[in-house]
Amino acid sequence: MRTSALRLSVVYAASFAAALVLLVFVIYVLTTRFINAEVDTVIERDALSILEAYGRSGTRGIINELDLRERTFSRINAVYLVTDAEGFVIAGNLPAWPVMRGRDGRWVEFEIELREGGLETGRPVRAMVLEPGPGLRLLVGTDLSDRRDLGRRFAVAAGIGTLLVTLIALGIGYRQSQRILARVEAVSRTCKEIVGGNLAGRLPISGDDDEFDTLAIEVNSLLARLARTTEILRTSLHSAAHDLRSPMHRMRLRMEQALGEEQATGSAGDAATGAQRDTLELLLRDVDQMQRVLTALLQIAEAESGTVGARPEPVNLDVMLDELGELYQPQAEQQGISLVVGCAPGSRVLGHRQLLAQAVANLIDNALKFTPSGGRVELRTQVADGRLAISVADSGPGIPAEDRTRAVEPFVRLSNAPPRDGSGLGLNLAAAVARLHGGSLRLEDNQPGLVARLELPVGAPSGATSIDRA
């Protein structure tokens, strides 16, 4: 998050600084152009008045005119020079005709070397060269060093200013983006907790009455509704469980009671009471079957709706899978199936141990049920891309491709035939448990056979926050 805040503020400050530099540059160019034009106008006007003086009284007129300027407050930084046909200086404040650096028609530019306090300095001059009469050369110019200094000062000031403003922008930007990111993080943390089943979590409201608060209030009201709906669902599931189990309980007790009386009073070998016994025992088996289906349905409903009350806790999957493998090993051997367990050590997820164990047990149970004697069932784990996959692969007949996705959807059954033992909902429950943990159950072709792949995120969604609080 920190690096993200820094990156954001650097990007903002950099774009801000770039805009500022552009602005200063444009101002600089426009101002320089204006000042340059002003310099040229002044020189032109000055030159004109000198030419006028020449027109009135010839070379003498120019000398008088320049002399007058030297004695009065004429324009500042003015540079003059008049030379005759031989190149001798007639008048002006330059010692000799300068070496030109640039020429553009009448306009020239050069530097005057001056000694100022023992230092050689060059002063740039812009000037106009005219030939008022035959052999006569007149130079009217302006010392530009003030303007040059102004430009330098402007550049320095602009540089320091831009730097300061950029630093301030960087600081403010960093603080702002940190604040924004902190709030975004708070939102995402709360959302993660809520996904993990803590519907009591609410987004923090800063009281600044900004867009974030508006968003938080909206999301919170949504959460409140969700929590209410979930609570209603939880209550109805429980009352359904209670209302169905209580009569089943009485039913089972009555049957056992009747069976007990039968045992006490009925004489052995009596055909009629024997038939009644068989009926009662079949009924008992039906009640047990009903209970198994009911329990599985309720578990699926709880897992799918996220109404599992307990907090997730760290589960050592490799230990759990080894134990489950060991639990089913004797049965596999009895069926003539080789059950191979290969789990990467140290795979931990946050979750509900009993539900995960039951999900995997259902997958193993399913694999053993459909694998013929001499076959092979493999229980393995793999970690890739932050997801942990528990795979149960068998060498049985498999499931046709078109049925594989359907088989793991809630409450979907592939065959309408009643299950012989178990609830017949083993795969559905495993899929529901996977979804509860933010994962998925996928059925794939094992060529031949079926691979059930239960994928779980390694740092499960509800994350460390749940442990911290526990």
Q: Which residues sit at the interface with another protein, rule CB under 8 A?
A: 238, 241-242, 245-246, 248-254, 256-257, 260, 287, 291-292, 295, 298-299, 302, 308-310, 323, 326-328, 330-331, 334, 352, 354-355, 357-358, 361, 365, 368, 421-423, 426
**Among the residues of 94-210, which ranges form H helices?**
145-195
The CA distances from residue 151 to 3, 20, 116, 148, 380, in Å, are 40, 18, 21, 5, 76
Question: Shortest distance, CB of residue 411 to another protein, whole angstroms?
Answer: 18
Q: Order of strands across the sheet with 338-342?
A: 338-342, 376-384, 387-394, 450-457, 440-445
Among residues 260 and 448, whose Cβ is nearest to another protein? 260
Closest approach, Cβ 254 to another protein, in A, equals 7
Least gap, CB of 441 to another protein (angstroms): 17
Our CB check for another protein shows the closer of 173 and 325 to be 325
| CB contact at 8 A, 128 and 43 | yes
CB of 244 to another protein, least distance (A): 8
The strand pairing partners of 451, in sequence order, are: 393, 444
Closer residue to another protein, CB minimum distance, 161 or 336: 336
Q: Is residue 425 a contact partner of residue 369, using CB atoms and an 8 Å limit?
A: no
CB of 262 to another protein, least distance (A): 14
Q: Which two tokens stand for residue 213?
A: 């608060």
Choice between 219 and 298, CB closer to another protein: 298
Closest CA to 434 of 410, 450, 415, 451: 410
Long-range contacts of 259-266 (CB under 8 A, 24+ apart): 259/284
Q: For another protein, which is the closer residue by CB, 205 or 284? A: 284
In angstroms, what is the minimal distance from the CB of 167 to another protein?
A: 57
State which H helix or E strand residue 56 sits in: helix 2-71
Q: Which is nearer to another protein, 250 or 406 (CB)?
A: 250
The whole-angstrom separation of Cα 232 and Cα 237 is 9
> Where are any strands of DSSP class E within 318-375?
338-342, 348-351
Cα–Cα distances in angstroms (integers) from residue 36 to residues 122, 358, 405, in the given order? 19, 88, 80
Q: Tell me how far, at minimum, the Cβ of 404 lies from another protein, in Å.
A: 22
Nearest distance from C-beta of residue 297 to another protein, angstroms:
12
Taking alpha carbons only, the member of 118, 69, 122 closest to residue 91 is 69
Beta carbon nearer to another protein, 184 or 287: 287
CA nearest to 426, candidates 445, 448, 441: 441
Please, what is the minimum distance in Å from the beta carbon of residue 232 to another protein?
17
Pick between residue 108 and residue 452 the one whose CB is nearest to another protein. 452
DSSP string of 353-368, one letter each residue: HHHHHHHHHHHHHHHH
7 or 249, CB closer to another protein? 249
Q: Is 450 helix (H, G, I), strand (E, B) or coil?
A: strand
Task: Give the integer Cα–Cα distance in Å for 289 and 287.
Answer: 5
Q: Which of 431, 463, 458, 274 is nearest to 355 (CA)?
A: 431
Q: Name which of 204 and 422 has its Cβ closer to another protein.
A: 422
CB of 355 to another protein, least distance (A): 7
Minimal distance, residue 414 CB to another protein, in Å: 18
* Of residues 141 and 426, the one with the C-beta less far from another protein: 426
Give the C-alpha separation, 110 to 96, whole Å: 12
Q: Which is nearer to another protein, 74 or 257 (CB)?
A: 257
User: What is the smallest separation between the CB atom of 203 and another protein, expressed in angstroms?
Assistant: 27
Could you tell me where the DSSP H helices lie in 198-314?
211-265, 271-305
For β-strands 348-351 and 387-394, DSSP reports them as: unpaired
453: which strand partners?
A: 391, 442
